[in-house]
Structure 1
Amino acid sequence: MPAPKNLFKQALVARNRQIGLWLNMAEALPAEIAGQTGFDWLVIDGEHGPNDLRSILAQLQALATSPSEAVVRPPIGETWVIKQLLDIGARTLLVPMVDSPEQARELVSAVRYPPEGKRGLGAAVARASAFSTIADYADTAADEICLLVQAETRMAIDNIEAIAAIEGVDGIFIGPADLSADMGYRGRIEAPEVQEVIEKAIRRIVAAGKPAGILTFNEELNRRYLDLGATFVAVGADVTEFSTALRSLAGRYGRGSAEARGPASY
């Protein structure tokens, strides 16, 4: 029996739009709830969310029956981190801060077993192989692993075509916050100078034959990126949506933030 099909990876190859959400709460229950809301992909964020290996595992388990693809973002693209994430069942990775084709090539090696790569062969005791019940896992895993790399600096943008040319890179995701900071526009992703770079980068990724992705909390920008040809676009985060919804609910009863309303009185 081969590794289960990665329908998200197939959708990227077919250039079918995939709308995603960031999971930063680092808890299984919010992840499970998000998994039933209709998003195509959900990012378990190990870079800016308070996650560790066990909390990521719990969220993967919570999303096991969800139609949404669980995408795991490690804190850094190190081989040992990637090995652990793959063994606990992550099959789509979003790796931050990939600036060069050399880095991308190393990541491809990290997600593949020898002789094609250097992933440690521990599938026999791993959740990824359903604890050895997927007999052909080691031979078929590479076909279903989806490797997405983040372009978040001017160097990465300069190297877009070279990164896209690396076989085994399944998509390039633009990180607008870090990119804007690297360009000298920290916190101003809407700046025309930043948007010009982002829009050109999306076109270049698409022209190079790879799916392009991005995340913003701005619906107008997200729709613009989709129109430009971006395939996988994340449109929000659980933390911000939860906070906004609760503030709205409190506001409907005349309640502001704790700082604004002062000590509670009943």
Structure 2
Amino acid sequence: MQNSPSNPSAYLGQLLKKPGGVKIGVGVTSPSPELVQMLANSGFDYILIDMEHGPISIETAYRMITAMIGTPAQPWIRVSHNDPAQFKLALDAGAKNIVVPMITSREEAQRAVSYAKYPPQGVRGWGPFRTQYQWQTNMLDYAKRANAETGVIALIEHPDAVRDIDAILDVDGLAGAIPAPFDLSVNMGFNDGPNHDKVRHAIEFVISRIKAKGMEVTSFAVTPAQAVEAMRLGVNNLFLGFDPMYIQASLQLFLSTVSDLNIAR
């Protein structure tokens, strides 16, 4: 058996075959530090802890972030809504980026950024008593770095947000935006997914405006075809969906392969 390289991060990054120049992320809805630890050691660049659509408490989110320490993966948290208390808890748990659902206007984006930043840039309360351990530093060093090294990312999930995308992206301190294909589809009147011209055009328009601002482009891609399309549009980050779909798909692939091999005997 080959020895692993002396740099563990380099070795781990080889475990996940990535398209050239593209960072890869995955979402976790299960309240499981153990699952996060496995994913973080598979070479993902970031892991989104989903507190909007998963039964994850802030205590569990803290332990999930702890499970990523020493791995290449950066911890992101999606809060359930644009609320200052949630931002404070998520950031104090050690999150690097806060993903905010249903941002539809410049004003909502401004509020989100203010909740995430210490004064004078924002209104975040000071108290990184345990965050220092997640960042492996001390409280004062964390407080000095936090505004520059944490980000707010807006989810674009509604036609109003598409219409106001330039105003949203102009908000000082906003790190980026992500068009959310399924929510956008539903809010545009399509309940069967994003494979409609109007939805695709809206997503392409949002991505074009993000690129024009010089921001990194992140795209959801829950199927290989969506990943190929996203790369055609020049994304920097591919967000590959959520844990339940991959656990189920992996088991189905394994069992179907066993069945095919048995039939071939």
TM interval, shorter chain, is: 0.7 to 0.9
State the SS of the aligned residue for 1:26: coil
Secondary structure, counterpart of 2:174 in structure 1: coil
Which of 79, 90, 98 lines up with 1:85 in the alignment?
Answer: 90
Aligned counterpart, 1:68? 73
Distance 1:134 1:121, change over 3 A: closer
CA drift of 1:253 comes to 4.9
User: Residue 191 of structure 1 aligns to which amino acid in structure 2?
Assistant: H
> What SS class does the counterpart of residue 199 from structure 1 fall into?
helix
* Aligned residue number for residue 179 of structure 2: 174
Corresponding residue for residue 200 of structure 2: 195
Are 1:139 and 2:144 counterparts? yes
Q: Is the 8 A contact 1:71 1:90 kept in 2?
A: yes
The one-letter amino acid of 1:122's match is G
Local SS of the residue matching 1:170? strand
Q: Give the distance between the partners of 2:172 and 2:104, measured in 1 at CA.
A: 16
Paired with 2:38 and 2:231, the residues of 1 have a C-alpha distance of 26
Q: Which amino acid aligns with 1:138?
A: A
How far does residue 116 in structure 1 lie from its aligned partner after superposition?
2.0
Deviation at 1:248, TM superposition (A): 2.7
Report the residue type matching 2:213 in the other structure: A
Unaligned runs of 5+ in 1: 1-15, 256-266
The TM-score, its normalising length taken from structure 1, stands at: 0.84
Q: Does 1:114 find its partner at 2:114?
A: no
Q: Which residue of 1 aligns with 2:44?
A: 39
Q: Which amino acid in the other structure matches residue 108 of structure 2?
A: Q
Q: In the alignment, is the contact (CA less than 8 A) between 2:181 and 2:193 conserved in 1?
A: no
For 1:213, the equivalent position in structure 2 comes to: 218
| 1:250 Cα deviation from its structure 2 partner | 3.2
Take 1:229 and 1:163, find their aligned partners in 2: how far apart are those partners?
21
Higher relative contact order (CA 8 A, sep 6+): 1
Aligned mates of 1:252, 1:233 — CA distance in 2: 27
Q: 1:130 aligns with which of 118, 130, 133?
A: 133
Indicate which of 140, 151, 155 corresponds to 2:156. Answer: 151
The CA distance in 2 between the partners of 1:30 and 1:187, in whole Å, is: 30
| Alignment check: 8 A CA contact 1:203 1:229 kept | no
Equivalents in 2 of 1:198, 1:104: separation in Å? Answer: 19
Displaced runs of 4 or more, over 4 A: 252-255
SS in 2 for 1:136: helix
Give the Cα separation in 2 of the matches to 1:223 and 1:171. 21
Identity of aligned residues (%): 28
Displacement after TM superposition at 1:166 (Å): 0.8
Paired residues in the alignment total 238
For residues 186-211 of structure 1, give each alpha carbon's deviation from its aligned partner in whole angstroms, at most 9, with x where no partner exists.
Answer: 23211222111111221122113322
Q: What letter matches 1:51 in structure 2?
A: I
